[in-house]
Chain A
Amino acid sequence: MAMDLKEIETLIKGALPDAKIEIQDLAGDGNHYSATITSSEFSGKSKIEQHKMVYNSLKGKMGNELHALAIKTKE
């Protein structure tokens, strides 16, 4: 099970249209990614809420098709 980098980006963009997203495929296996996401929609929210917004944008793929995505959120 793996997920394409573009697909991750598209899903996040779908939920957070103004987001600036930098994704790295850490192991080159389409399964371990690291993403830095900058969006104005994070403002005033706790880190947990911010990460949940990103997880929700991935529509249940996190922890399933997508094994590992390290997330860093910025306002």
Chain B
Amino acid sequence: MDQQVKDLINNEITNNEVCLFMKGTPDAPQCGFSMAISNMLKILEVSYKGINVLENQSLREGIKEFSDWPTIPQLYIKNEFVGGCDIIKEMYENGELKKFLTDKQIKFKK
């Protein structure tokens, strides 16, 4: 992977506590899976940065290699890859996501 892309990803996940690499934007997601995570974060009133990989082809490929994860969306919280749509959905449904946010001291609607 290009060093520039690696730096870009590192910057985003370091400077934003909650960071969602997604297709589209939080206001206009362009894929159902990206929309699903966006909606869960919105319901929990978590403030997050959405990064649209469709605007940057090298980022779109780079993030897959960076996380060693073949799909998008990908959620990072405090520099840590938490999961894609399936894992986040499962964590949302069984309460683990709230626990994780609490542990990481991220503000959300309880």
A→B interface (CB under 8 Å) = 47-48, 51-52, 55, 60, 62-63, 68, 70-72
- Name, among A48, A52, A72, the residue most crowded by chain B CB atoms within 10 Å (CB to CB): A48
Interface size in chain B (residues, C-beta < 8 A): 14
Most B CB atoms within 10 A — which of A47, A55, A70? A47
- A-facing mask of B63-105, CB < 8 A → 1, else 0? 0100011110000000001011111001100000000000000
- Smallest distance from the beta carbon of A66 to chain B beta carbons, Å? 9
Interface pair A71/B81, CB less than 8 Å apart? no
Contact B87 A47 (CB under 8 A): yes
Chain A interface, DSSP helix/strand/loop, else mixed: mixed
Binding site for A on B (CB under 8 A): 33, 64, 68-71, 81, 83-87, 90-91
Pair A62/B70 contact, Cβ less than 8 Å: yes
Question: Which 4 A-B pairs rank lowest in CB-CB distance, beginning with the nearest?
Answer: A63-B70, A62-B70, A47-B87, A71-B86
Tell me the nearest residue of chain A to B33, going by C-beta. Answer: A68
A16 to B68, alpha carbons, bound, how many Å?
20
Q: Which residue of A lies closest to B72 (CB)?
A: A63
